[in-house]
A and B are shown apart, each in its own frame.
Chain A
């Protein structure tokens, strides 16, 4: 008689071999899966560790942290091989951050930064409510406030001027609406009344500015020539970045427009601006423009206009790329729903097109942020220009001063660019629900 055994349940799976789990298993799968992979890992790892070590060694381990002049950073005086000479950066810190902005007035720059952060951070976090109000404050009110603080002079006049011009523009738009309503049917007299009123209010506001009633400077005027350092870098980059998108959208739509004159003008602007280097644009704006104008605007304004148009032209091509990726069906569908052109573009096409080109847009922003350093050729000291000027100070001239200055500039530029890059990835992932792989 034989006895047979039958298992009533499954054999428990054996644990995976030690070589497939844990850190070792992960490394085997991802780093050493074949001889070639192993070689690449070793070479890459060696290079990465060496670079990181060099950087840490120079900026932290061998660095000098305190000192009064170059003697603190000389190998002979210290008695060892010296790395970064940080006291050079501390001594010139005000210069690097604010340029020639008077020391007593630098709180104004800091306050501007504070307000900017307080408005920008909630704007960047999707879950914070009140986005429209926040956007109006940041894009509408903040620039005027920043002008108040940074430039100084009258507090009230800039608000009145901007308000006056906006009222006049709005009024003109309403009058245009009235004229169009006359063509289509019964004239809409309300438009005319409100438009006239707005224009009158605008002219009144501008006249109020002219009377000089509020011209008394509340804060001392700081000429833009005295601005410098990181302040200039941020002002130029922020203006360029904020202005680039609307200019770019307008030019991209103009280039795809069916109206020949608008298309021709858009193409002309884009190709002309893209065809010349930024240095040329800045040089012309700074040195040639004053020859053709009786009263030329402030040097910084000329630079800001130049940078805005330049970045706008590049942005236009990025956005056009996005527009071309939208299938024809989307346009036809929007039209079938009875949407007019502005609604079709703002509700259906643009949101999709912009989402597609987020990497390109952020790419342009990061490039622009670093291109701002070109303003140093037109007699404006930005962050890098200020640092370079610092190298010439014989009080701090030492073999490591140059490397320290560039390391400091590198750290600052990297911090800003890395933040922009990470935020763009975050936005991409958030919007990319339909295409995520």
Chain B
């Protein structure tokens, strides 16, 4: 690293927030008032970063994990309603894949999956809410992109759902592939990456199309249903959720092409590596549990297992959990209260639910999917 030209945040008692770094060791953690001040600066910078791609300076906040343990609950940012991912059910309980990740984190910390509170956030407010500390993590089907990971000052802690953008058309059109859609009118929600992906796809394939844009998802699907356009497009998981809203869902078919990568995952703030580790490894623990076939049902038998890997993961041997700042039995807590990845997938979006999404890319790596966890040891 070079000695000068690197700018670092210093404590405000120096009289200046921005000074050239003297050496590489000047980034010692500072907590307390300085951190609060820096969070103000970083959040204000967030606005600029959104517009100009400038790198926001982010500093060490007080330990999020200790903060959560003191207040007694995890504050989790979720969507304002997305079937299968985060949605209040009729009894007023939050359910979904993203919600279960939050519950798993609460279970790992408190041994109680109910010690979590949910903030329903809109797409545009989600990052501000995370930056300002209103939520401890964002588990809100957020796509991992370079810009969000860097200039927004966020860290993605993993990918709990591999999504991609797809198309839905009427069966009566007899279209078998998205490449046959030349000249089609496409219903799409405005202001999303979806809209940009469609433009890319049609331009790359030299196809003509007519975009019909709407402000909200509800309007978009209504317009498609009423025949305003030939094609409806959104993330593949959303296609299934929206299809059940159609008058005759069976008359519509989802085309095989997936035209974009949408890796969705939990997000935390820059600057607290311990909390990032906790969120990341809770996700990995659920995948590892599925790999080792540890389920809610057979957990007690598994605790008696002689398999060294199972014993290590469940904390019978070793102290992986303590290194995270949690307890030895953290994986036991997660599986007992929430389940492994396969269980939460099947419960929320799997084939037996109304969404009926197959594992696809989200199958374990051993079964042809992408879900892969580093070893817990």
Contacts and interface: CB of A to CB of B under 8 A. Distances in A.
Contacts, number: 108
A225 interface: yes
A400 to B, nearest CB: 9
B222 A402 contact: yes
A292 B129 CA distance: 14
Contact of B121 (A100, A292, A379): A379
B88 A290 contact: no
B81 A294 contact: no
Contacts of B43: 288, 291
A130 B132 CA distance: 49
Contact of A391 (B39, B40, B81, B84): B81
Interface stretch (A57-65, A117-125, A137-145, A381-389): A381-389
B87 A389 contact: yes
A378 B39 CA distance: 20
Nearest to A99: B92
B161 to A, nearest CB: 16
B83 A103 contact: no
Contacts of A299: 134
Contact of B247 (A75, A91, A223, A290): A75
Contact of A399 (B36, B89, B245): B245
B249 to A, nearest CB: 9
Contacts of B77: 379
Contact of A92 (B82, B90, B119): B90
B200 to A, nearest CB: 28
B124 to A, nearest CB: 9
A10 B326 CA distance: 109
A393 B353 CA distance: 12
A255 interface: no
Given A393-B87, A395-B354, A399-B247, A291 B119 contact: no
A401 B225 CA distance: 14
Interface string B322-339: 000000000000000000
A399 B222 CA distance: 8
Contacts of A388: 80-81, 218
B29 to A, nearest CB: 20
B117 A225 contact: yes
A184 B81 CA distance: 66
Nearest to A381: B120
DSSP majority for the B interface?
A: loop
B191 to A, nearest CB: 15
Interface in A355-409: 376-379, 381, 385-386, 388-395, 397-399, 401-402
Nearest to A228: B92
Contacts of A95: 88, 90, 92
A101 B77 CA distance: 19
A286 interface: yes
B125 A378 contact: yes
Interface string A296-327: 00010000000000000000000000000000
Contacts of A76: 248
B244 A397 contact: yes
A5 interface: no
B350 interface: no
A398 B245 contact: yes
B237 to A, nearest CB: 12
B246 to A, nearest CB: 7
A30 B77 CA distance: 60
Contacts of A283: 125, 128
Interface in B122-142: 122, 125, 128-129, 132-134
Contacts of B129: 287, 379
A40 B304 CA distance: 86
B241 interface: yes
A225 B245 CA distance: 30
A24 B310 CA distance: 91
B91 interface: yes
B282 interface: no
Contacts of A392: 81-83, 87, 241
B133 A290 contact: yes
B254 interface: no
B287 interface: no
Interface in A120-138: none
Nearest to B92: A100
10 contacts: A74-B247, A94-B91, A94-B92, A103-B91, A223-B117, A283-B128, A287-B129, A287-B134, A291-B40, A402-B222
Given A291-B40, A386-B88, 20 more contacts: A92-B90, A94-B91, A95-B88, A95-B90, A100-B92, A223-B117, A287-B132, A288-B43, A288-B132, A379-B129, A379-B134, A385-B80, A391-B81, A391-B218, A392-B81, A392-B83, A393-B81, A394-B84, A394-B355, A397-B245
Interface of B: 36, 39-40, 43, 77, 80-84, 87-92, 117, 119-122, 125, 128-129, 132-134, 218, 222, 225, 241, 244-248, 353-355
Shortest 7 CB-CB contacts between residues of A and residues of B = A389-B81, A392-B81, A394-B354, A379-B119, A397-B244, A399-B247, A397-B245
